[in-house]
């Protein structure tokens, strides 16, 4: 035991592992849309070599009106093979990546500052609300973060030889194929690192790095020309909503006649909005008291940083010594990492700004290493208290209160249908909560070959100019029909099974099962008619 306690880094890694792997199937309380989509896509590729739309080994996966980067989905295949279509199979790669990022934070802190800074920073990341809530679910963004940190660490050690350059290029090249934000962050971060390491003076190493990165970028560049890779930005871009359009014309009209169009155009307005959004991410509300706008990514009424971390970060900005430019790497992580989130219209998007990590923790670690011992004692006590409060709320309160936001109830519906679907000629399920067919396919292991055959006709949604499948009034998969339920207009016969939300049924419905969320609210009602 004494040997273990001498190895503080080992204890931190064990803590990070416990926090990321324990109760992985229950916290968060259910799999969300993206997790089942990626899981079933991986299963479909594993079984047939094609995704659920019949595309063979795609470089981008059609999903919910967007095109997902492929790396996490392909990485899931062996985990699905071993653990099956389960929460563990979908979430384990992200959790492992989360643990690895804690270790990489130590290595980066040690490299650019000191051993103690690395230890402090890795501990902060191990229990970080930001990092923990994004590394337990199956979020491909978390894998992208780990690949980016690997690329950074290897490039900082380029003097060890060409193999380190090659490894850096490999990891940096893979990161954008895991998550879209890395398509913006990685090129800018590489430019910063080339300057700070002076690698640009070594022509052989520079060419090796750039050639490999260009090879990885080719599929992305190709899809930029086809419009596929831009599909998601077209939906969530900073100037794509009606509020932004109204603001655009209001600003233009505020200028004297004849100058409005010159000063306020699409380019200048986009730059203004991105800059404004970028600055908003530094607000105390986002960082300390409120967090993001999506409860899947941050705990409501809790910031993404601890107050103790923030105090140390502020301290580090005062004591940060000028010298080696690597001292400012954490600031580069933060400044560059917020750009993808700032380019979208959603406010306070925690997931899209994940690549600012572990910049905050490195700064906090640097601050703690440079603070007087008596003051450090009180900050450490505050940090421990904050961590205990957050972890208690996340593991015990959060799964009960916010189960709805994790699409809780679909698994229970699938389990019921697995036993009863053969008793009915037709099954009608509400699409109110968004594309339920993927949840049924995931939990009941629908045959991917049959799924593809039944699903391909649903591509008519794209031909009709719709953004995603459930914008169709209704669509079918075998005996299943997915639509909004209107009980008075349904056939209400006893050989049709209906699955709807709490207010979908009338007095003539025969209720067979009611599925409740952990907080007692109704997730789904399963019923038939009496005719």
Query: Residues 195-198: contacts with CB within 8 Å, 24+ apart?
Result: 195/325, 196/324, 196/325, 196/326, 196/328, 196/329, 197/155, 197/156, 197/158, 197/326
Residues 364 and 385: their CA atoms lie apart, in Å, by 17
Do 254 and 190 fall within a single domain? yes
pLDDT at 421: 94
**Angle value at C-alpha 189, between 188 and 191, nearest 5 degrees:** 65
**Angle value at C-alpha 17, between 113 and 45, nearest 5 degrees:** 110
Give the end of a domain, one of 367, 401, 435.
401
Do 293 and 144 fall within a single domain? yes
Residues 280 and 373: their CA atoms lie apart, in Å, by 34
Q: Residues 346, 236: contact at Cβ < 8 Å?
A: yes
Do 140 and 251 fall within a single domain? yes
pLDDT at 1: 47
The mean predicted confidence, pLDDT, of the chain is 90
pLDDT at 381: 95
Q: Residues 90, 197: contact at Cβ < 8 Å?
A: no
Alpha-carbon 387 to chain mean position:
22
Give the end of a domain, one of 378, 401, 424.
401
Q: Residues 253, 245: contact at Cβ < 8 Å?
A: no
Do 369 and 411 fall within a single domain? no
Q: Which residue range is the domain that position 168 belongs to?
A: 86-401
Q: Which helix (H) or strand (E) holds 515?
A: strand 510-516
Domain contains 27: no
Domain contains 12: no
Higher pLDDT, 451 or 468: 451
| Token pair belonging to 524 | 């789904």
Is it the case that residue 114 has pLDDT exceeding 70? yes
Read off the pLDDT band of 294 (50, 70, 90): very high
Predicted TM-score of the model (pTM) = 0.93
Domain contains 1: no
Domain contains 29: no
Q: To the nearest whole percent, how much of the chain has pLDDT over 90?
A: 77
Q: What average pLDDT does the segment 259-276 reach?
A: 72
Residues 470 and 458: their CA atoms lie apart, in Å, by 10
Q: Each residue of 420-449: pLDDT tens digit? A: 999 999 999 999 998 999 999 999 999 999
- The number of folded domains in the chain is 2
Among 85-94, 298-307, 371-380, 475-484, the least confident range? 371-380
Residues 110 and 334: their CA atoms lie apart, in Å, by 19
Q: Residues 117, 369: contact at Cβ < 8 Å?
A: yes
Do 369 and 424 fall within a single domain? no
Do 385 and 490 fall within a single domain? no
Is it the case that residue 232 has pLDDT exceeding 80? no
Give the end of a domain, one of 401, 429, 446.
401
Do 412 and 383 fall within a single domain? no
Do 430 and 506 fall within a single domain? yes
Do 345 and 410 fall within a single domain? no
Do 372 and 455 fall within a single domain? no
């Amino acid at each position: 035991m004494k040997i273990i306690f001498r190895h503080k880094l080992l204890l931190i890694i064990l803590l990070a592992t416990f926090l990321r792997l324990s109760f992985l199937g229950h916290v968060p309380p259910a799999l969300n849309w993206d997790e089942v989509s990626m899981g079933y896509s991986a299963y479909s590729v594993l079984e047939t070599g094609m995704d659920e739309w019949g595309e063979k080994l795609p470089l981008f996966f059609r999903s919910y009106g967007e095109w997902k980067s492929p790396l996490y989905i392909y990485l899931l295949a062996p985990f699905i093979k071993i653990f099956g279509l389960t929460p563990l199979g979908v979430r384990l790669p992200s959790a492992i990546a989360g643990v690895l990022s804690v270790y990489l934070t130590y290595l980066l802190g040690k490299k650019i500052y000191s051993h103690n800074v690395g230890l402090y920073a890795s501990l902060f990341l191990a229990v970080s609300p930001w990092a923990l809530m994004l590394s337990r679910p199956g979020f491909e963004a978390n894998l992208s973060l780990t690949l980016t940190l690997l690329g950074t660490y290897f490039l900082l050690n380029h003097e060890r030889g060409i193999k380190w350059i090659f490894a850096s290029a490999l990891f940096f090249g893979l990161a954008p194929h895991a998550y879209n934000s890395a398509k913006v962050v990685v090129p800018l971060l590489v430019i910063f690192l080339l300057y700070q390491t002076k690698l640009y003076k070594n022509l052989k190493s520079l060419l090796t790095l750039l050639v490999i990165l260009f090879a990885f970028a080719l599929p992305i560049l190709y899809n930029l020309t086809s419009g596929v890779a831009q599909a998601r930005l077209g939906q969530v871009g900073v100037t794509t909503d009606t509020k932004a359009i109204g603001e655009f014309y209001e600003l233009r009209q505020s200028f004297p006649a004849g100058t409005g169009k010159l000063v306020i155009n699409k380019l200048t307005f986009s730059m203004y909005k991105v800059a404004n959004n970028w600055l908003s991410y530094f607000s105390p509300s986002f960082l300390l008291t409120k967090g993001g706008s999506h409860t899947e990514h941050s705990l409501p009424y809790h910031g993404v940083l601890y107050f103790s971390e923030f105090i140390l970060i502020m301290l580090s900005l005062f004591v940060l010594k000028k010298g080696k430019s690597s001292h400012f790497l954490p600031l580069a992580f933060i400044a560059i990492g917020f750009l993808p989130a700032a380019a979208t219209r959603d406010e306070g998007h925690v997931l899209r700004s994940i690549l600012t990590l572990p910049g905050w923790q490195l700064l906090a670690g640097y601050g703690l290493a440079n603070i007087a011992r008596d003051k450090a004692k009180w900050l450490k006590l505050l940090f421990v208290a904050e961590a205990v409060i957050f972890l208690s709320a996340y593991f015990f309160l959060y799964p009960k209160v916010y189960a709805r936001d994790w699409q809780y109830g679909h698994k229970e519906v699938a389990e019921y249908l697995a036993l009863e679907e053969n008793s009915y000629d037709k099954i009608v399920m509400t699409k109110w909560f968004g594309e339920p067919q993927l949840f049924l396919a995931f939990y009941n292991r629908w045959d991917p070959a049959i799924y593809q055959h039944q699903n391909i006709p649903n591509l008519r949604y794209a031909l009709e100019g719709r953004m995603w499948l459930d914008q169709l009034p209704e669509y079918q998969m075998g005996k299943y029909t997915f639509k909004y339920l209107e009980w008075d207009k349904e056939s209400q016969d006893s050989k049709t099974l209906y699955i709807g939300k709490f207010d979908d049924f009338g007095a003539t419905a025969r209720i067979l099962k009611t599925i409740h969320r952990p907080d007692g609210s109704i997730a789904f009602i399963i019923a038939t008619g009496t005719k």
